[in-house]
Amino acid sequence: VKALQVAIDGPASAGKSTVAKRVAHDFGYIYCDTGAMYRAITWKAMQSGVALDDDAALEALLAKTTIAFRAGEPEQRVYVDDVEVTQAIRQPDVTNNVSTVAAQATVREALTKRQREIAAAGGIVMDGRDIGSSVLPNAEVKIFLVASVEERAERRFKDNAEKGIHTPIDVLKEEIAVRDKKDSTRKISPLTQATDAIKVDTTSLSIDEVVARIDEIIKKA
């Protein structure tokens, strides 16, 4: 069977990475978390004192930055120039600044190029905001994962609790809404459902149900 490209897009905290990892595992595909790449360069810019809306400075920074994924338990680990940033890039300071960095033209151009290289051979599940609409327009399977903002805030609240982060649920709801607005209204490749993507609303579905539904779609593709 042919090794496909599977694009999974959607708003913040819709469950993309959890589902994408499971689906990749089911087919023996690689999993690529493109949000982690935007988070990684945001983390490095914050460390380096580079302004988060200075596209030229960010481009120069990115040119000398290695972002790598390595296998790890229970999760894939993320490295920036050999420093492990798996936890650091999920902290609220990065989360609340990443959309500013992700709106910069040359940052998107550079990361899109890296993402296309990673996906070129197929056999990949890539999650993000613009994978089906821009990074991999010819992906054989495109999923647009959505859930109500209340449900997403609750999921994020539970995830955070496990990481020792205790942001109140109302604050999370507001942060998610703000990030979605920024990601959907930016000029370059905004968050949008590709015309040929299949929408899956996960609000009242379990993870198992969502994975089963997507696995079926892939088998039929």
Known binding positions for ATP = 10-18
Pairing, β 77-80 against β 83-84:
antiparallel
Among 6, 7, 8, 12, which residue sits at the site for ligand C5P (rule: CB under 6 A)? Answer: 12
Of 11 and 211, nearer to ligand C5P (C-beta) is: 11
Q: Which stretch binds ligand C5P (CB under 6 A): 24-32, 80-88, 129-137, 143-151?
A: 129-137
Distances (CA, A) of 151 to 59, 158, 195: 36, 11, 25
Of 172 and 183, nearer to ligand C5P (C-beta) is: 183
Site for ligand C5P in 82-121 (CB under 6 A): 98-99, 102
Ramachandran bin of 28, using left for φ above 0, alpha for ψ from -120 to 50, beta for the remaining angles: left
Among 5, 7, 130, 142, which residue sits at the site for ligand C5P (rule: CB under 6 A)? Answer: 130
Question: Is residue 35 close enough to count as binding ligand C5P by CB under 6 A?
Answer: yes
Question: Is residue 202 close enough to count as binding ligand C5P by CB under 6 A?
Answer: no
* Minimum distance of ligand C5P from residue 219's CB (angstroms): 25
Contact 79, 36 (CB under 8 A): no
Question: Is residue 142 close enough to count as binding ligand C5P by CB under 6 A?
Answer: no
Omega before residue 74 within 30° of 0, cis = yes
Question: Is residue 147 close enough to count as binding ligand C5P by CB under 6 A?
Answer: no
Question: Is residue 128 close enough to count as binding ligand C5P by CB under 6 A?
Answer: yes
> Bridge-partner residues for 6, per DSSP?
125, 141
Of 10 and 211, nearer to ligand C5P (C-beta) is: 10
Distances (CA, A) of 11 to 29, 162, 173, 207: 23, 22, 13, 16
3-state secondary structure 53-66: CCHHHHHHHHHCCC
Gap between the Cα atoms of 200 and 205, Å rounded: 10
Q: Which residues have CB under 8 Å from 176's CB, separation 6+?
A: 11, 12, 13, 149, 152, 153, 156
Q: Which stretch binds ligand C5P (CB under 6 A): 32-40, 67-75, 78-86, 146-154?
A: 32-40
What single-letter DSSP state applies at residue 85? Answer: -
Question: Is residue 179 close enough to count as binding ligand C5P by CB under 6 A?
Answer: yes
* Minimum distance of ligand C5P from residue 179's CB (angstroms): 5
What does the binding site for ligand C5P look like in residue numbers (CB under 6 A)? Answer: 12, 34-35, 38-39, 98-99, 102, 128-131, 179, 183
